[in-house]
Amino acid sequence: MKKQRLFSIFLSILLLIGLPLLSSCSGDSRLNPSEPVTLTFWHVYGEQVDSPMNLLVQQFNETVGMKKGIIINVTRMSNASEVGEQLLAAQEGRPGAGSMPDLFLCYPGTASLLGPENLVDWSEFFSQEELDSYVDAFVDEGILQNRLCVFPVCKSTRLLYVNGTEFDRFQADTGISYSSLRTWDGFFRAAAKYREWSNGKPFCAFDYLVQNVDLNAHEMGDTQLIKNGCYDCSNPVLRSSWKQFGDALVRGDIIISDLYANTQMMTGEVPAGTGSSAAILYFNNIVTFSDNTTEPMNLKVLPLPVADHPKADSAPLAPQTGCGICALKTDSIKAEAASVFVHWLTESERNLDFATQTGYFPVTEEAFQAIDSYPFQDPSYRSVYNAIRLVKNNCHFVPLPSDSGFIEKTNQLYDTLRSMQPTLNERYLDGADPDDLERETWEQFCSCLGPSEN
Amino acid sequence: MTFRSVFRHNPEESSDLTRKRNSLRHKLFRYMFLLAALLIAAFLIGLSFIITALRQRDAFRASLQMQMAVFSQDVSSEFETLEAAGLQMSLSVTEQIRTYLNDRHMTISEINDSETDLKSLQESVFDTIKEKLLQTDSSGAFLLFDATVNTHLEGADHSRSGLYIRKNSPDSASELLLYHGIPEIGKTNHVMPHRKWTLEFHTQNLPGYQAWKTSAKPGSCSFSDIFVLPGTSDRVLLMLFPLFSPDGTFLGVCGFEMNDTFFRQKMAQPTTLSHLTCILADIHNAPEGQAPGTLRIHSENTLSCGSTDGYYLAPAGTLTVTKKLSEKQVLCTDRITSYLGITEKVKLAGSSERFRTYILIPRRDYRKMVFREGAEVLLIFSVLLCLALLCCRYFSRRFLNPILKSLEQLKNREKTDPDEMIPEIAELFSLLSEIENDRKAETSALENEIENARKELSRVNKEYDDAKRELSRLVYARKKEVDPESYQLFLNGLNTLTRTEKKIFLLYLSGKGTREIMEENNIKESTLRYHNRNIYSKLGINSMKQLLRYAAIMNGEDSDSCQRTDFF
């Protein structure tokens, strides 16, 4: 018996020595610093330019990532629309599309197309207390089929950017001031006046024209613009809202931006543009003309104009945009690693710093409120955040439609209108009936975004 | 003799064989042989594992070498392709520029300040640049004329008109963006301005441009330093192809851009090595021959990639070679970790001294591999030790159990078929049986002897009793013959004898003669007679015969009743 006991003890010791060699499990976390897990990451912050997100990723990799065994590898930077298309292409396995990233930024509509069941449910990694620290509306936007698939990182709104140097000259000559740009009526009058003043140059390039039409119609009092996932083209308020924009398009007072309004402002093609608050990251501080002379942009940033005759009890509306972060559901280690990264990324202080470098607003309640007192050194950024504060304190944020295919349809409309623009202008200058021309644009709107004929 | 009879089973032979086979010696031999064979097999298997484990280091070094060969080949091949495409592009655009200038009888310097000519030139070469960009695995292509649209501006000497088209991402279907150039030309060709577009290229942003321009030769290919493209976070390496007119006039420069994102994606290596980092370093600012520990390469001067499985950790800060393990093997560290790897010079587009490639893995991975080797060896030894213990335990049990069983049977006196028993035990049984038989025989003989002795004793006792009875009878008869009074007087007189008289009396009773008594007591005959007279007188007797008769009667009575004991 004694010998048997000794033998058992010997075997136990051997097992005790051997088991750690055979197993690397330790604690609850499955992350292992000596076996780092790599997460490929597609994001939309700083496309083409110096990306603050890349700096954050580098900082994460060198600190928390190194400690916990997580490496974030940014393999694509682009805009949300392109990332969305590439994600769908990758999921379908289209040739040349590459493989799906582990982490990516996209709109809830894209996430919906990818399938919520294929994405990590963030609520499994965030306690209710943690979720309560985020702005409710931002979290709610990312819930698809009762799963929190799209986690808010930062949000943006749309703003009106104005080349201050050019506008000051225009103002001095015409008396039209920035206050004229508070309402759409005033805006379009200024645009018409500018075209006249500048001998035919358009006043403003629009990145997301449909969003402006949509919000204008909402402010005018109709909240039922969409039926069965499509714009209701029989809606008179929507028609009326479009007409304001359509008329300006036909006259050449405004244009659909080539790609981004800010590049057309940089080349002096237009003195104003509407775009995301995050576009501030991409603005040059000078305008360059064809003879290579330059002048300071002196960028002024304003809230978007509002409807002239809003419904009595409605507050001005502002679009709430911005992607959220999703993680592809693969294995539990990657999901945990993604959760660590998202927790780190959205910590209040870091979230505020990141947002304020990129023209976004943060997503935690604490950081969201801190914007009001945040000191900005750069005048362009100060101008952007002054506008954001105005919007935040005076407007009601409205999430924009992100139904399946909405972005693709609007892009199709913009492409069509962009190609029609020169002809419409020519025909208008040749004396064609502006109403007929405007109706053509409305037909294109309905063709792309209205109910299908089937 | 029949066939059957040859193979007829002989029970005795079979039994002998079985016994032989079952013998302890044979069993022990078999078990020892089996144990030795098993241990040798286990040792060989363990040895092969250990050798395999130890060979992992060699395999690891071989993998590094292989990876280095593949990576260097990939990089060389990539830049050779770009060199070929660049030379073609330079020939093509040179011809287009030359034709344009010849048609208008202009020189390159005469198109300065001419928006029209520069626009026309850009339009004429746009397709060539775009086509070459799309044909190659580069992140951008450019053509800069040695002219500017406005010579009157400050810094005009460094401002050069031209086209710089970039891919937005490394994907094949990526959109193109106009980084420099006339936007209308880009838009016409569906190439929208870059977010950080500027009309012209500032050569001050291209390190070493002026020196390069002075030394550039027709048909050559050079590399720029790696630098950050203004307005972006992209670090780029430009391949520069100078453009010269037939008369040797410098027309401009065209080339390709390789940025870090593109390099990272296109050069990602398929590998079996974990956590691989591959680096292409521009070392012309970090001369060779520095003492180990001082060779530093700033990560800003490198392009790097990871593996195709998605792993990539960019070198951070300065990569410092801390130790040269061999001609190629190095240990190095950066801001966040330390690496083990190999490095060699790589020839890119004819430049053999400009670049180095590095294949690195984190040192902790290597340490872990070494630790794992040690652990595996330890584990194998432990398993072998366990196996040896288990074998010893098993075989000792197999060997001892029959013996113990037999001893148990022996203890319990169970009978077993000898054929089933271990022969040595059977022999022991037989020996013990013989000893027992001998012991039984001796016991039996002893018992017989005891019985005989007992019978003899019985017979002697019987004779003794008979003699005793005869004696009693004789005493009784004598007693009847003597005068009771005289006998009583005799008995009484005994107590009156002196010591010497008693001694002499007893000597007489023991059958001694007068001579013997005189010699024994060393006395004279007269002395003896004197004592005799006293004895006779005290005992009331008058002769020796009477004395002996009374003494015999007295002894006969004593044996019956133990009288007179006190006298003797």
Give bridge partners of residue B342 from the DSSP assignment: B329, B359
Mean pLDDT of A403-417: 86
Mean pLDDT of B181-188: 94
- Report whether pLDDT(A334) > 50: yes
C-alpha separations of B459 from B466, B470, B549, B559 in Å:
10, 16, 30, 20
Query: What pLDDT, on the 0 to 100 scale, is given for residue B416?
Result: 67
Query: What pLDDT, on the 0 to 100 scale, is given for residue B294?
Result: 55
Q: Mean pLDDT highest for which of A142-156, A387-401, B31-45?
A: A142-156
Mean pLDDT of A286-305: 94
**Inter-chain residue contact A75 with B314, CB threshold 8 Å:** no
d(Cα A386, Cα A376) in Å, to the nearest integer?
Answer: 10
Query: What pLDDT, on the 0 to 100 scale, is given for residue B200?
Result: 95
Cα-based angle A28, A32, A33 (whole degrees, multiple of 5): 135
- Report whether pLDDT(B52) > 80: no
Which A residues in the span 230-269 are in contact with B, Cβ-Cβ below 8 Å? 258-260, 262-264, 266-267, 269
Mean pLDDT of A13-37: 65
Query: What pLDDT, on the 0 to 100 scale, is given for residue A368?
Result: 85
Mean pLDDT of B64-91: 94
Q: From chain B, pick out residues whose CB is under 8 angstroms from the CB of A414.
A: none
A317-320 and A396-399 strand pairing: parallel
Query: What Rg do the C-alpha atoms of chain A give, in angstroms?
Result: 26
pLDDT digits (tens, 9 = 90+) for A154-192: 999 999 999 999 999 999 999 999 999 999 999 999 999
Residue B132 tokens read as: 């070459």
Query: What pLDDT, on the 0 to 100 scale, is given for residue A252?
Result: 95
Query: What pLDDT, on the 0 to 100 scale, is given for residue B8?
Result: 47
- Report whether pLDDT(B49) > 80: no
CATH class of A158-320+387-449: alpha beta
Taking CA atoms, what residue in A is nearest to B335?
A62
Q: From chain B, pick out residues whose CB is under 8 angstroms from the CB of A290.
A: 115, 149, 182, 199
Helical packing angle, B423-481 and B24-103, nearest 10°: 150
DSSP H helix total and E strand total for chain A:
18, 20
Residue A23 tokens read as: 């197993």
**Inter-chain residue contact A48 with B197, CB threshold 8 Å:** no
Residue B45 corresponds to which amino acid? I
Which of the 8 DSSP states describes residue A321? B
Give bridge partners of residue A299 from the DSSP assignment: A163
Neighbours of B185 (CB within 10 A): 16
Q: Mean pLDDT highest for which of A224-233, B110-119, B499-508?
A: B110-119
The string of DSSP codes covering B217-228 is: -TT--EEPPPEE
Which of the 8 DSSP states describes residue A150? S
d(Cα A17, Cα A147) in Å, to the nearest integer?
Answer: 44
Which residue do the tokens 């008329």 mark?
A: A247
The domain limits of chain A are 37-156+321-373, 158-320+387-449
Q: What percent of chain B has pLDDT over 70?
A: 90
Confidence band, pLDDT 50/70/90 cuts, at residue B129:
very high
Q: Mean pLDDT highest for which of B28-42, B146-160, B416-430?
A: B146-160
pLDDT digits (tens, 9 = 90+) for B456-513: 999 999 998 888 888 778 777 777 777 888 888 888 888 888 988 888 988 888 888 8
Contact A30, A332 (CB under 8 A): yes
Taking CA atoms, what residue in B is nearest to A53?
B233
- Report whether pLDDT(B368) > 90: no
Query: What pLDDT, on the 0 to 100 scale, is given for residue A57?
Result: 92
Which B residues in the span 279-338 are in contact with A, Cβ-Cβ below 8 Å? 306, 309-314, 316, 335-337
Mean pLDDT of chain A: 88
**Inter-chain residue contact B192 with A259, CB threshold 8 Å:** yes
- Report whether pLDDT(B87) > 50: yes
C-alpha separations of B303 from A71, A148, B262, B316 in Å:
18, 38, 10, 12
ipTM: 0.85
Mean pLDDT of A286-299: 94
Any residues with CB less than 8 A from the CB of B439 and at least 6 apart, and which? Answer: none
**Inter-chain residue contact B389 with A7, CB threshold 8 Å:** yes
d(Cα B537, Cα B539) in Å, to the nearest integer?
Answer: 6
Taking CA atoms, what residue in B is nearest to A261?
B195
Mean pLDDT of B268-274: 88
Query: What pLDDT, on the 0 to 100 scale, is given for residue B111?
Result: 93
Contact A98, B171 (CB under 8 A): yes
Q: Helix, strand, coil shares of chain B as percentages rounded to 5?
A: 55, 20, 25
A324-327 and B222-223 strand pairing: unpaired
B277-282 and B351-362 strand pairing: antiparallel
Query: What pLDDT, on the 0 to 100 scale, is given for residue A401?
Result: 73
Taking CA atoms, what residue in B is nearest to A263?
B195
How close A284 comes to chain B (CA, Å)? Answer: 7
Element at B507 (helix H, strand E): helix B499-509
Query: What pLDDT, on the 0 to 100 scale, is given for residue A405?
Result: 76
d(Cα A228, Cα A236) in Å, to the nearest integer?
Answer: 17
Q: What is the CATH number of domain B482-561?
A: 1.10.10.10
Query: What pLDDT, on the 0 to 100 scale, is given for residue B299?
Result: 84
Query: What pLDDT, on the 0 to 100 scale, is given for residue B115?
Result: 94
Mean pLDDT of A436-445: 96
CATH 3.40.190.10 fits A37-156+321-373, yes or no: yes
**Inter-chain residue contact A263 with B199, CB threshold 8 Å:** no
C-alpha separations of A308 from A215, A313, A399 in Å:
12, 14, 22
- Report whether pLDDT(B212) > 80: yes
Query: What pLDDT, on the 0 to 100 scale, is given for residue A65?
Result: 93
Query: What pLDDT, on the 0 to 100 scale, is given for residue A265?
Result: 94
Find the range with the poorest average confidence among A146-155, A297-306, B70-79, B475-484. Answer: B475-484
Q: Is A326 on the interface with B (CB under 8 A)?
A: no
Mean pLDDT of chain B: 84
- 10 Å CB burial of residue A447 (0-12, 13-18, 19+) is middle
Element at B187 (helix H, strand E): helix B183-188
Contact B280, B166 (CB under 8 A): no
Q: What percent of chain A has pLDDT over 70?
A: 92
d(Cα A240, Cα A105) in Å, to the nearest integer?
Answer: 35
Query: What pLDDT, on the 0 to 100 scale, is given for residue B27?
Result: 78
Confidence band, pLDDT 50/70/90 cuts, at residue B317:
confident
Higher local confidence (pLDDT), A444 or A309: A444
